Structure 1
Amino acid sequence: MKSYEELKQWRKQYIHSVSWDHQKLNSFHDELMKKTVQIALEKVEGEWGHPPTHFAFFVMGSAGREEQSVWSDQDHGIVYDHSTKECQEYFLKLGEEITDGLALVGYERCEGNVMASNPFWCKSLSEWKTQINIWFDKADWESLRYFSTFFDSRALYGDDNLVDKIKVYAMKKLDEQPFLYKRMYENVGFIKKGIGIFGQLLPEQKGEDAGCINLKQTIFFPFVNSLRLLALMEKITSSPTLERFQQLPEHFHSLKTYQADFMKLLNYRLYFQKEATNYKKVHLLNIKALSTNERKELKKMMKKGYKLFAITKDIIEKRCSR
């Protein structure tokens, strides 16, 4: 396939055949995005020549964690080796072409502009290290949110060592300032309540989402945020939540048991949301569509996530008190 339109048609024809299997679906997304990047690079090379230095195009968010559903928006960036004006101009141009290409193929643009077309997310290796220092020095809500977003990154095309170098640098800096672990926990400490005091599900009450539970906010975030924090403390550079579970050291054996619950949650979302018509709807679940047993299962997964998050808090507080 040599055009974005061909990739768009391929997506339409094929995606529903893998929409029932989490691993196959995310492998398909990876392949689709890689082919988009290849076409974008060929277009830029035709005008600007070959890349002036080594680089990596990386994805973040659900793509970085390999947790995409049928629909996904764009969250990505670029890191390149040499810090020159020539490199900056080249890779910003590439970032713009990739962003436009992904939009044409079927990936909505990020509302927060977390894309490689934005100079903030397209930097040299040395500039990325400087950015890590800035985020940690400020340590406010926005800075730590940006860092958490970056730490879920995964190189999709190019030199993946460049992304790992930034992560390793960040983890060394965290060792020098362990109080930041607690700040990061506090940064994600608010969890949208999904269960009431009488054990009832708490859907949205107003607006177009009335009657729906937001799976991302009420169930996914406790698992995802917990494993990101644990990965940082244990020097795990992998971004997929499932891989982070697998790479936890043996003294976290009891936490590894939550991996099965998270896998069940991923499949649960696919089962109910595979017919969603846009990115926003893949996170919404109308509780009226659930049977009594399905509601019980949903509440069970919520409680598991809340418990994991509470355990993570205790681990962080002990680490920070040393």
Structure 2
Amino acid sequence: MKKLQFYIDEIIDEAIISAIAHQFYGEYEERFDRIPLAVRADFLKYLHKLYEKERKELHLINQRYNRRIRSISRAENIATLGHIHQKLNELAGEIFIRTRSVTEINQRCTKYRDLLTLKVISLTRLEMEKDFPRPHNTFAWIRMGSTGREEQTLYTDQDNLLVYKNPADKAYYTAFAKRMVENLSRVGFVKCKGNIMPTNKKWFATIDEWRQKLHGEFTDAENLVDLIVLTEAKYAGGNFPLANTFIQETHKALKSYHASFQAIAKATVLMPIALTIFRKFKTERKGEHKDMLNIKSQGWLPLIMLILLFCFEHDILEETNTIKRIKALERMNAFDTEFAEELMECYITLTEYKIRAQIDFLKGETHEISYFINPYKLSKKDQSKLKKTLSTVEQLQRLAASSYSISDDSL
């Protein structure tokens, strides 16, 4: 039977909720079999108080969240958006501590950052009216990275590109891109360390120039990282038909890059996982991170990349979200249901560690976000779970090596 937590968004409705409630009630009846009526009544009375307290608290959190969401459209300046963003991050952290639902945090953070981006676009266009005549034609703002995968968490940076239609609008959109990057930064979207932003000419062009780029400079081995980034392209604002044209053009180009993906596959299969051949944790031997492992680079990132590779092999380009990609691969029989759920559990477990690190930073408990953890400070149960998670990622690496015909000699 499929695990409900991985499919709840697809099937949840009043009938499902009712069935779960009846299941809980059935457990109560079983536990209280042959227990006197008075004891049952007292138990149910106390249980009702606990449930009602929980229900009210959850309702209040949702109310606060929805108020903040509605306030985005009413914001009149960038500073206000920055304040709203901060409060929404705090609320998302509070919700995660309460539910430990990684997928919920992904969905909520992606939703409010999408709305914030749209509002920043609107305010930036108003700013532009003071200094520039209206452009001749339209543009599209494209999101990539965790935003493109709809896997936003409590910390975000900018991974965007800009495509516009008319070459005559270059001066306008050059200035617009610069203001957008600065305004997003002020709202709390940290500037990308890899410079994947439209202030970098690599990520700024007309639709015709993008066609040339996609079938030209992005095809060589030096641009493999850029190629990977483009697999996560999603509409963020501006003209949707133009964005869709760009994304479809990207998919068309990706299908012609099989040789490049062979190189990506080899690099991904070689990514180190934080396990030794004896199934012990592989940790740093010296330095400030002695006895620690990096949960992001030695677990989470290889998983994300491996799922991408399998999607490319099976021509799954429309999906960018990791969980949805795994489900799509399951539907195509690339993975059986059991292994697909193990992979989804891997994503949940590894992302949970990332979110915990972000919460520690937001609380001021750490001076920077670090994805290094000391696995030996975890409980025995959590150590065992993490080892199983990393072992499953290794298993996926072996499958990828076989699928892409990467021999042991070439590794």
- What's the TM-score, normalizing by structure 2? 0.68
Confirm or deny that 1:213 pairs with 2:293: yes
**Given residue 88 of structure 1, which amino acid in structure 2 is its aligned partner?**
K
In structure 2, the residue matched to 1:162 is: 242
**Given residue 5 of structure 1, which amino acid in structure 2 is its aligned partner?**
A
CA distance 1:49–1:247, change in 2 (3 Å): farther
- Per-residue displacement from partner, 1:223-252 (whole Å, max 9, x unpaired)? 211222233331422322223223334222
Residue in structure 2 matching 1:269, options 354, 358, 366: 354
Instruction: Answer yes or no: is the 8 Å Cα contact 1:108–1:279 preserved in 2.
Output: no
In structure 1, the residue matched to 2:196 is: 114
Cα RMSD of the aligned pairs, angstroms, is 2.7
Distance 1:295 1:275 in 2: 20
Q: CA shift at 1:115, angstroms?
A: 0.7
Percent of aligned positions that are identical: 20
Distance 1:307 1:157 in 2: 39
Aligned ranges 1:73-92 → 2 under 5 Å: 73-82=157-166, 84=167, 86-92=168-174
In structure 2, the residue matched to 1:17 is: 91
Confirm or deny that 1:312 pairs with 2:400: yes
Report the more deviating stretch, 238-247 or 217-226: 238-247
- Per-residue displacement from partner, 1:183-232 (whole Å, max 9, x unpaired)? 22124343133112332222334444444322221111222112222333
Instruction: Answer yes or no: is the 8 Å Cα contact 2:234–2:247 preserved in 1.
Output: no
Distance 1:97 1:179 in 2: 38
In structure 2, the residue matched to 1:43 is: 127
In structure 2, the residue matched to 1:125 is: 207
In structure 2, the residue matched to 1:8 is: 82
- Per-residue displacement from partner, 1:6-25 (whole Å, max 9, x unpaired)? 12212222312112142223
CA distance 1:9–1:173, change in 2 (3 Å): closer
CA distance 1:219–1:282, change in 2 (3 Å): same
Q: CA shift at 1:290, angstroms?
A: 2.0
Equivalenced residues, count: 314
- Per-residue displacement from partner, 1:129-169 (whole Å, max 9, x unpaired)? 2112224542x1x3111111122122211234434434433
Instruction: Answer yes or no: is the 8 Å Cα contact 1:79–1:128 preserved in 2.
Output: yes
CA distance 1:263–1:163, change in 2 (3 Å): farther
Distance 1:40 1:49 in 2: 14
Q: Secondary structure at the match of 2:163?
A: strand
Instruction: Answer yes or no: is the 8 Å Cα contact 2:268–2:306 preserved in 1.
Output: no
Q: Secondary structure at the match of 2:214?
A: helix
Instruction: Answer yes or no: is the 8 Å Cα contact 1:174–1:180 preserved in 2.
Output: no
Confirm or deny that 1:242 pairs with 2:323: yes
Q: Secondary structure at the match of 1:18?
A: helix
In structure 1, the residue matched to 2:306 is: 226
Q: CA shift at 1:61, angstroms?
A: 1.5
Distance 1:202 1:177 in 2: 34
CA distance 1:301–1:49, change in 2 (3 Å): farther
CA distance 1:240–1:96, change in 2 (3 Å): same
Confirm or deny that 1:178 pairs with 2:258: yes
Instruction: Answer yes or no: is the 8 Å Cα contact 1:71–1:282 preserved in 2.
Output: no
Q: Secondary structure at the match of 1:149?
A: helix
Distance 1:292 1:58 in 2: 44
Structure 2 spans left out of the alignment, 5+ residues:
1-74, 97-103, 407-411
Distance 1:177 1:164 in 2: 20
Aligned ranges 1:122-161 → 2 under 5 Å: 122-135=204-217, 137-138=219-220, 140=221, 142-161=222-241
**Given residue 281 of structure 2, which amino acid in structure 1 is its aligned partner?**
L
CA distance 1:276–1:284, change in 2 (3 Å): farther
CA distance 1:303–1:166, change in 2 (3 Å): farther
Distance 2:305 2:144 in 1: 14
Instruction: Answer yes or no: is the 8 Å Cα contact 1:15–1:28 preserved in 2.
Output: no
Distance 1:129 1:237 in 2: 19
Larger Rg, first or second structure (1 or 2): 2
CA distance 1:208–1:87, change in 2 (3 Å): farther
